[in-house]
Structure 1
């Protein structure tokens, strides 16, 4: 009896399970041999074709049954990839493999020194290790600087501007998004002080004609750094009087018989920087006693002398 056994196409089978893959972010590309993972008794000459599905961030290219696995820059997370082997008749078999990509810190905290009142660019990405070209820098609105402002520049650097006259510590948090993943860290700022000029404020004073007056001009002058202030110089028009610095105060002496408004200009210093202000002194007029301008000579006359006159206007005067 002759028996003819007709061939029947056999479905490919899983020859060996591909183990779940645990990788680190930005892992080095490697390969998986699908020819050893699948087999087909009808196709001993490796006529199987292979495909993959389910991958978005784990990149797979397949050539001659070799699957090359490569990362998406800076991505981490988990994906289930399904590898399928198909024979020439269209029969197929699949196996699913979990790929877990663990995060690696690409972002590094920064430190910067900033000079008081000086906007400063900080290149926060310089010490970070992001692989992707799509990185985007943003700011954490809940952790902004307490003593200044910060903004992001088009090149990914940031500009920090301290508040006016502030010096001391400050910090803020920035975020980098790359490969669909965000990381954040802190920038610690040291704002170093600079000497600020004092601020001199105008003063007023009142005195009487021919009466010196002492004017304490420093109490309303200020220095935001708390430096001790002193009077460096002072001047007044000669026609109005003279001014001296005595024990840290101004002593103004009106010119003789001067009355009206006198203006003193003085300079205050913190030992390095200066500022100027004026003192307006109101000099009140005081009535002056008439004085003998010229003595009238004693008169020696003959009896029945001819009448004559003496001009008293030239003999007496009154400055008022």
Structure 2
């Protein structure tokens, strides 16, 4: 007997009850029947009233409650769905979406799917959305994973459990190139070994530059895994380039960046070779200069003195003083220091000293004679740069009452005044073959007294006449 409780039914209300699984001969094989009854009346005992039986009416208060049979109906029996083993495949690192289905002979039934077990944690994870299985493999994992599922139809019938097998196919993983950095000094050379990793291949050995730095900053070369950077002259700052790596299966990595930092370095100044000309015995001055890309203030220094003279520097002015009477070629080496203390290269100043004729030098002379006796002395001069051939000339005559001097060739002749004795001085000059005159030189003449022999008055008069005659022949010569 099937008991159907009736609750909340008002007195005099009507309810329709279907009684299932009631066998009657008119239903075809494989189907079951049910009857439909109407109940009218008042429910006095809900615990007993309202049960469904083909011919039996309610018991208590049956005069107030009646059952009326409406009819018999035949329906097909509900069959639980059947789940089958399923197989799917996807690629490594790729989420797969797979449709689920079951066998159900009951037309019109819908189904709800549930997972009874997950794949192994190392393989991945799965969930069901509607009738679709979503499987996400673990990164870089490949192989076979399995899980179980079950279905329930819209009439509540539950299927068997079945296994789903998922095959994850291996896929070559691209290598991963590492970001790198390179730091070097201005005007130097630097290199870095590029690096890449690959989860399923040996470390890559093939690298390729994708983008190079601005040529104004420098140049880059690649040899194997070694990347070299040469900055442009005097450039400093930060620049970048990109590269990639290829594994043994031919897969290229995503681009990676190499950051290049070039630190500024003080540049030494540069000095150039110079030239300087002057005349013999004449100092000369040259203004020194230097070039420096990052400085403008310099200190100069002589590091190699000339062989025939001397050099000194005051500020940026170099003064060369040739050795006395020297002419020819010589040189000076110098360098410069910038305000940061960096010394330049050494450079040469080539010096030419043009010869100038030097005047001869007349030598002082001495002449000693006796009173009333003429005498002569050899005149002497020297010349550093001429043949020793000179012309002499009397510059200053002796005092008239001392006597008279004459120049004859390279000799000076002096005739003392009669009976005079003492010291007198004359001067002379010498001229070289190029016409240069010397300074004056002195000839000091000493006349020693001599005792005079007594003579008669007439003799003395005659002697005086002779002396006058001798003085008349004196002369001053200057050529």
TM superposition score normalised by structure 2: 0.43
Which residue in 2 is equivalent to 1:143? 212
Give the conservation status (yes or no) of the 8 Å contact 2:286–2:318.
Answer: yes
For residues 189-246 of structure 1, give each alpha carbon's deviation from its aligned partner in whole angstroms, at most 9, with x where no partner exists: 111133444332111011111111111122xx333443633212344245x1111111
Where in structure 1 are there 5+ consecutive unaligned residues? 1-12, 38-45, 47-63, 76-104
For residues 274-301 of structure 1, give each alpha carbon's deviation from its aligned partner in whole angstroms, at most 9, with x where no partner exists: 4211111111222222222x21224534
- 1:208 and 2:279 correspond: yes
Distance 1:166 1:198, change over 3 A: same
Give the conservation status (yes or no) of the 8 Å contact 1:27–1:70.
Answer: no
Distance 1:298 1:22, change over 3 A: farther
Which residue in 2 is equivalent to 1:89? none
Aligned-residue CA RMSD (Å): 3.7
- 1:260 pairs with 323, 328, 344, which one? 328
Distance 2:184 2:136 in 1: 41
Distance 1:144 1:274, change over 3 A: closer
Superposition pairs of residues 46-65 of structure 1, within 5 angstroms: none
Q: Which secondary structure does the structure 1 equivalent of 2:254 belong to?
A: strand
Distance 1:26 1:152, change over 3 A: farther
Distance 1:14 1:227, change over 3 A: farther
Distance 1:242 1:162, change over 3 A: same
1:173 Cα deviation (Å)? Answer: 1.6
Distance 1:143 1:288 in 2: 71
- 1:72 and 2:72 correspond: no
Superposition pairs of residues 244-283 of structure 1, within 5 angstroms: 244-270=312-338, 271-283=341-353
Superposition pairs of residues 94-243 of structure 1, within 5 angstroms: 106-125=176-195, 130-131=198-199, 132-133=201-202, 135=204, 136-140=206-210, 142-146=211-215, 147-154=217-224, 156-178=225-247, 180-218=251-289, 221-226=290-295, 228-237=297-306, 240-243=308-311
Which residue in 2 is equivalent to 1:81? none
Give the conservation status (yes or no) of the 8 Å contact 2:182–2:190.
Answer: no
Higher relative contact order (CA 8 A, sep 6+): 1
Where in structure 2 are there 5+ consecutive unaligned residues? 1-82, 89-95, 98-133, 151-161, 386-479
TM superposition score normalised by structure 1: 0.62
Q: How many residues align?
A: 242
Structure number with larger C-alpha Rg: 2
